[in-house]
Chains A and B, each alone.
Chain A
Amino acid sequence: MAKGESPLKQFEVQPIIDINLFGFDVSFTNSALWMTITTLFIIGFFTLPFLKSSKTNSIEDLYPSRLQVASELGFNFINSLINDTIGKEGKKYFPLVFALFMFILFGNLFGMIPYSFTFTSHIIVTLALALGVFIFVTVLGFIKHGIKFFGFFVIPGLPIYMLPLLIPIEVISYLSRPISLSVRLFANMLAGHTLLKVFAGFVSALGFFGILPLVFIIALTGLEILIAFLQAYVFAILTCLYINDALHLH
């Protein structure tokens, strides 16, 4: 980090190719670039191991390659997550949860590469993902239950005079879902990366004693990778729980 550079500079969105479409600024930015890289990487990661199918019928083809085992590990992880939270009927929603989990996970992990850009550290990206889940779950609830879905806001077995107080609380609680989903991911990424940059600034400022923050940064990088995984996991598990709520109401 150059001297006097703000630790927040890493979050700046810079256009790479300027595109102006019908008066809208739809430039290809560094954020879009890293989203494209992430998507291409995920597609490659989950298709390449299965492409080189057996032309030669040697015994080695029977063993899965290392890449195949790695991608199947990801598949099984989400598969068991869905089985645990939604059950058998959750199979239909596997592609949604899997795509969300992988996109966030690799977005977070690619953000850990120096000089890269963490698109999950922008509230607009995480809010768009969370709102997508929120709208999907609400529409799903209405498709499955029709008008009865409003019964979701009424706790069963409650005296009738409590309803005017509790229905607004339930509605706020329901509306807060996408906010809590997006703020959690965004805040974790923003805080972690800012902290890394701030301590990186100490390294050059302290001279010889800069070795201490340097050691701290190494530990912090490990923690950041853990959090990258954890937040993707929390996003996926909450998506599963919300789908489960929409399917079964209470």
Chain B
Amino acid sequence: MQNKNDNDKDDERGSSLKGLSFAYRISSELLAALIVSVILGLLVDNFFDSRPIGLISLIILGFFAGLLNIYRLIRRIENHK
């Protein structure tokens, strides 16, 4: 009984640790995709002289790219279970 409790505690600690790294990863994935898409959007606008259109469309694409990153991350973790 004592052993089982200890194991449960260890599992809990491990999972909260994993949860922390998981949270960091999700937030940074979403942010990174947006940063990249804003940079790309500004470059596109500079190149084609189409001030807001490139930025807006690439930000939308970047948001989806961030969601895709998160989806991949979650799927990978689910596969490991």
Contact of A180 among B17, B32, B37 (CB under 8 A): B32
Q: B25 contacts the other chain (Cβ, under 8 Å)?
A: yes
Bound CA span A168–B6, Å: 49
Known contacts A172-B36, A187-B28; is-contact A234 B21 (Cβ 8 Å): yes
Interface centre among A169, A231, A233 (most CB of B within 10 A): A169
CB under 8 Å from chain A, chain B span 33-81: 33, 35-37, 40, 58, 61-62, 64-66, 68-69, 76
Bound CA span A191–B40, Å: 27
Q: B20 contacts the other chain (Cβ, under 8 Å)?
A: yes
Q: CB distance A176 to B35 under 8 Å? A: yes
Q: CB distance A169 to B35 under 8 Å? A: no
Give every chain A residue within 8 A of B24 (Cβ-Cβ): 184, 188, 230-231, 234
Interface residue total, chain A, C-beta cutoff 8 A = 20
Known contacts A230-B17, A230-B21, A234-B21; is-contact A173 B65 (Cβ 8 Å): yes
Q: CB distance A172 to B40 under 8 Å? A: yes
- Nearest residue, chain A, Cβ from B62: A172
Give every chain B residue within 8 A of A187 (Cβ-Cβ): 28
Q: A109 contacts the other chain (Cβ, under 8 Å)?
A: no
> What's the least CB distance linking A166 to chain B, in Å?
9
Give every chain A residue within 8 A of B61 (Cβ-Cβ): 168-169, 172
> What's the least CB distance linking A139 to chain B, in Å?
20
> What's the least CB distance linking B18 to chain A, in Å?
10
Q: A249 contacts the other chain (Cβ, under 8 Å)?
A: no
Residues of B within 8 A of A (CB): 17, 20-21, 24-25, 28-29, 31-33, 35-37, 40, 58, 61-62, 64-66, 68-69, 76
Q: A169-B65, A170-B65, A184-B24 are in contact. List 18 more A-B contacts (CB 8 A).
A: A168-B61, A169-B61, A169-B64, A172-B36, A172-B37, A172-B40, A172-B62, A173-B33, A173-B66, A175-B36, A176-B33, A177-B32, A179-B36, A180-B29, A180-B31, A183-B28, A184-B25, A234-B24
Residues of A within 8 A of B (CB): 168-170, 172-173, 175-177, 179-180, 183-184, 187-188, 226, 230-231, 233-234, 241
5 sample A-B contacts, Cβ–Cβ < 8 Å, listed by A number: A168-B61, A172-B36, A176-B32, A183-B28, A241-B76
